[in-house]
């Protein structure tokens, strides 16, 4: 048996590593649990008499929960982790050298969703930074007897006599006074110093297929942000019969080459109004499982009867929305087990994600479109329709709501020059 304490199977959302799971179930000295860090996993340890305590520990202290997961005498703990599980746990799993990593990926990576592609890239990058490696296996190849046998030998460490080889990432040069001083400084540093720079809000995944191209003027590209005038601008773009979405970056490049002098833009919305619309969609939309998680784990009172903006001044509406904003503040700062959804991700992160795939010439503020309409039309070489602007409902336009939104979306306020309410 190897000296590793655990085995993590990492996979994207479109991959189901069932064959490796069945292999681990039938392997002696290995105890397998499926996706213990999923917020939808309510029964973690089958034999545990304190399921509620386990879930509470997972939510509050993921590092302590991981230690409990690996604390298994006489056998190795194996578990799976899929994209969409607790984002705090992924960094802990990758940085923990006591855990073997098996990465399962689909064979046809050309059709891999953009979010899964970024997930595998981030896992590979973090493993390289920490000096570790992983066993990469395609989903369909996990049925191959030779690969299953090799994976089993790699897990149990039989070819190496069960010993784990320790590698020194940074060799010590005792003759170099500068390196000696660096080593003394590192040794005196607090153990709470993070090895990787802290970026708590995970970058959202944006798809090129959401971008709309139209032949207005010399060509216009619109990169939508959910709950930020995306539906209004889409209706305007669809007035052009030649408007289209793009299935690949190659198709987007060909469109750009055919429309010399094209312009691209996106529209942001005031964070208070956008968070209110995201809240209404969460309460009234087809998100029953997510509402159950937020209700049971975070004590959010999400009544499905809300939906009329004219009634948002009622007391219980304000209380529910304020509770949602407090949850958003924790979620955007990496303090919850629920992954950040694109609908309530900060707009600057979405714009940055688009910028990694294409250039955005103009970022329009919804509330400034009437004021700078002439300049915008001149820049884009086309005329704009009269915008149907939404305003913040009076019932939520309070100082308390503004302060909670500012605490959650402070990056949007700073990067887009939005006034802070004192």
Backbone torsions φ then ψ of 182, nearest 5 degrees: -65, -40
pLDDT of residue 193: 33
Higher pLDDT, 362 or 30: 362
Q: Would you say residue 207 has pLDDT above 90?
A: no
pLDDT digits (tens, 9 = 90+) for 303-347: 765 444 445 445 456 788 999 999 999 888 878 888 888 889 999
Token digits for 367? 């509330």
Helices (H), 382-422: 399-408, 410-415
Query: Mind giving me the DSSP string for 24-64?
Result: HHTSTTEEEES-TT-TT-----TT-S-HHHHHHHHHH-HHH
Cα–Cα distance for residue pair 189/250, rounded to 1 Å? 48
Query: Mind giving me the DSSP string for 172-199?
Result: --TT-HHHHHHHHHHHHS-TTS-SS---
Share of the chain above pLDDT 70, in %: 80
User: What are the C-alpha distances in Å from 421 to residues 236, 401, 407?
Assistant: 33, 10, 11
Instruction: Provide the 10 A C-beta neighbour count for residue 175.
Output: 7
Instruction: Provide the 10 A C-beta neighbour count for residue 156.
Output: 18
pLDDT digits (tens, 9 = 90+) for 153-193: 777 665 434 433 332 333 333 344 443 444 444 333 333 33
Could you state, in order of their start, the residue ranges of all structural domains in the chain?
6-156, 207-422
Q: Would you say residue 7 has pLDDT above 50?
A: yes
User: What are the C-alpha distances in Å from 74 to residues 3, 99, 178?
Assistant: 11, 16, 45
pLDDT digits (tens, 9 = 90+) for 88-121: 888 899 988 889 898 888 876 666 777 787 888 8
How confident is the model over 368-379, as a mean pLDDT? 85
pLDDT of residue 346: 92
- For residue 36, name the pLDDT band (cuts at 50, 70, 90): confident
Looking at the whole model, is its pTM more than 0.85? no
Task: Decide yes or no: CATH 3.40.50 for domain 6-156.
Answer: yes
Is residue 219 a contact partner of residue 263, using CB atoms and an 8 Å limit? yes
Cα–Cα distance for residue pair 269/364, rounded to 1 Å? 9
Is residue 274 a contact partner of residue 227, using CB atoms and an 8 Å limit? yes
pLDDT of residue 171: 36
């Amino acid at each position: 048996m190897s000296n590793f304490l655990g085995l993590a199977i990492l996979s994207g959302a479109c991959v189901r590593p069932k064959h490796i799971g069945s292999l681990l179930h039938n392997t002696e000295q290995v105890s397998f649990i499926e996706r213990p860090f999923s917020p939808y996993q309510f029964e973690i340890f089958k034999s545990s008499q304190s399921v509620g305590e386990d879930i509470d520990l997972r939510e509050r202290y993921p590092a302590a929960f991981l230690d409990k997961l690996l604390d298994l005498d006489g056998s190795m703990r194996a578990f799976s982790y899929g994209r969409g599980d607790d984002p705090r746990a992924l960094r802990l799993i990758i940085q923990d050298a006591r855990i073997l990593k098996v990465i399962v990926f689909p064979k046809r990576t050309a059709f891999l969703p953009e979010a899964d592609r970024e997930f595998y890239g981030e896992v590979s990058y973090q493993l390289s930074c920490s000096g570790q490696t992983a066993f990469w296996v395609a989903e369909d190849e996990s049925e191959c007897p030779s690969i299953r046998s090799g994976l089993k030998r790699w897990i149990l460490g039989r070819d190496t006599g069960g010993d784990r080889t320790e590698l020194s990432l940074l060799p010590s040069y005792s003759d170099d006074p500068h390196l000696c001083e660096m080593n003394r400084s590192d040794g005196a540093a607090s153990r709470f110093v993070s090895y990787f720079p802290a970026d708590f809000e995970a970058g959202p995944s944006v798809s090129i297929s959401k971008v709309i191209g139209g032949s207005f003027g010399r060509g216009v590209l619109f990169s939508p942000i959910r709950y930020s005038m995306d539906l209004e601008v889409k209706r305007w773009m669809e007035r052009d019969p030649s408007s289209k979405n793009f299935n690949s970056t190659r198709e987007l490049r060909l469109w750009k080459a055919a429309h010399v002098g094209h312009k691209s833009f996106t529209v942001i919305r005031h964070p208070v109004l956008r968070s209110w619309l995201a809240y209404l969609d969460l309460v009234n939309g087809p998100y029953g499982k997510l509402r159950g998680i937020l209700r049971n784990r975070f004590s959010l009172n999400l009544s499905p009867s809300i939906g009329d903006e004219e009634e948002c001044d009622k007391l219980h509406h304000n209380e529910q929305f304020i509770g949602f904003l407090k949850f958003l503040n924790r979620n955007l700062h990496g303090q919850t087990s629920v992954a950040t959804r694109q609908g309530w991700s900060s707009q600057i992160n979405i714009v940055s994600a688009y910028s990694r795939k294409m250039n955005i010439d103009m970022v329009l503020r919804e509330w400034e479109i009437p004021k700078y309409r002439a300049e915008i039309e001149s820049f884009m070489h086309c005329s704009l329709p009269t915008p149907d602007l939404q305003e913040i409902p009076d019932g939520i336009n309070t100082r308390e709501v503004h302060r909670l939104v500012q605490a959650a979306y402070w990056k949007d306020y700073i990067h887009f020059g939005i006034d802070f309410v004192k």
